Structure 1
Amino acid sequence: MAAVLAAGLGAGAVNTVVGSGSLITFPVLLATGLPPVTAAVSNALGLIPGAISGAIGYRAELRGQARLLLRLGTGALVGGVTGAVLLLALPAAAFERIVPALVGLAVVLVVLQPRIRAAVLRRRERTGGPARPDGGPLLVTGVTLASVYGGYFPAAQGIIYIALMGVLLDTTVHRLNAVKSVLVAVVNSAATCFFLVSADFDWTAVVLLAVGSALGGLAGARLGRRLSPAVLRALVVVVGAAAIVQLL
């Protein structure tokens, strides 16, 4: 119980600052003996308070972005439900084989995040102009597809969102982080509403993750502007690599 609570605290902070907090919580839930699907749905529900508290912590950066949130939130809602359906439609054995690949992809994205950001800046220098204010249909499509992945397995979905928005929107990383927190909350909530009537939860794990992630989300928003993401990325990579080894 202490380990799950601590994992939720860390995941809430990491999700708010850089994303990929599920790479901390998911292997901890597996280590307690939960089956992979039960761990995944319990993880999705337990991390919702952390995403909400992170968005509240970034509320100043959310001002003026209501229209963008409505557009992207609609895609996130559709994608999250679709990913949840895929999670429960596929057999558990298939999920156990797919998860290591998804975690591996998430770890790669975490490692490449600085290069993605540098590529975004180089692209804007070449074009010599700002990105579209709303990102256009390409951003909505990309967020919807990323949300399908997030509804299936939430690790690194926040980093995917930031990468997409960073390419197609001209705004600060803090405002991107704020929008990312809202999208993660939408996806997890949409998936969880579907899971509530069709999947088994471990409610002890859910409560512990919820408490820890809510506190961690607030702390992450407060400290996110001061801490370098490099240290958190290194932690996520280590934990993610351990998760892959355990799953395999």
Structure 2
Amino acid sequence: MTSQSLLPHKVTLVTGASSGIGAAAARVFAREGARVVLAARREDRLAALAAELTALGAEASYVVTDVTRPDDARRAVEFAVERYGRLDAAFNNAGVGGDRTPMHLMGDDAYDTIMDTNVRGVWNCLRHEISAMLETGGGAIVNNSSVAGLVAIPAAAPYVAAKHAVIGLTRAAADEYAKQGIRVNAVAPGTTRSEITADWFDRNPGLEQMVNGMTPQGRTAAPEEIAEAAAWLLSDRSPFLTGVVMPVDGGFLNQ
């Protein structure tokens, strides 16, 4: 941590921290001086990441969490407050992608899984994070949406609906709590390298080339690029930003 760090000593909760954008965010936030609380379902990965960050001199701890369960979301926030005395920031990143399937062929289970994790999970976390921040005078929250929260993506109707809903929750919370010192923003990543996208590309030959061809920069994002945007939105360097949805998409939405 340096005098120029974005998140000096900020107690920061990261959901979905065991892989992908969440793990990248934990590393970026720790580098920027945050005391990071890692939350996800896979304890082995959380423990390994916490040990990695601690070995680098960061303050990091973890709590096994399924964000679809309200009690788990509450417990994750309580863990952060009990361990560090407060909650300053949160990155609600946990999410699932689902299969690319035409709407009329998609079953109820696929819809329920996507909506439970991507929407109910954010809802569960927001309520408890906001409650904790109200106790200490404010804070900052970033929700992870997607470009699919701003435009339609073919053969992904529940995912599109869920990510639009995340933006709705972001704007509602930003409006409701602005006067109480809580800022709530969202990032909207374009296609980002992760286990989910790697699986999509493996199962759909040619999909990666098609996606890259639709992006002006001609590539997918690294998870760290999404994490850097989230870190800035959580930091005190964006004090007049709330209710913002920031595309991090290589120019995809600019076309």
Q: Hey, which of these two has a bigger chunk of helix by percent?
A: 1
Q: Hey, which of these two has a bigger chunk of strand by percent?
A: 2
Q: Which has the higher contact order (CA 8 A, sep 6+)?
A: 1
Q: Given the two structures, how large is their TM-score scaled by the length of structure 2? A: 0.29
Q: Given the two structures, how large is their TM-score scaled by the length of structure 1? A: 0.30
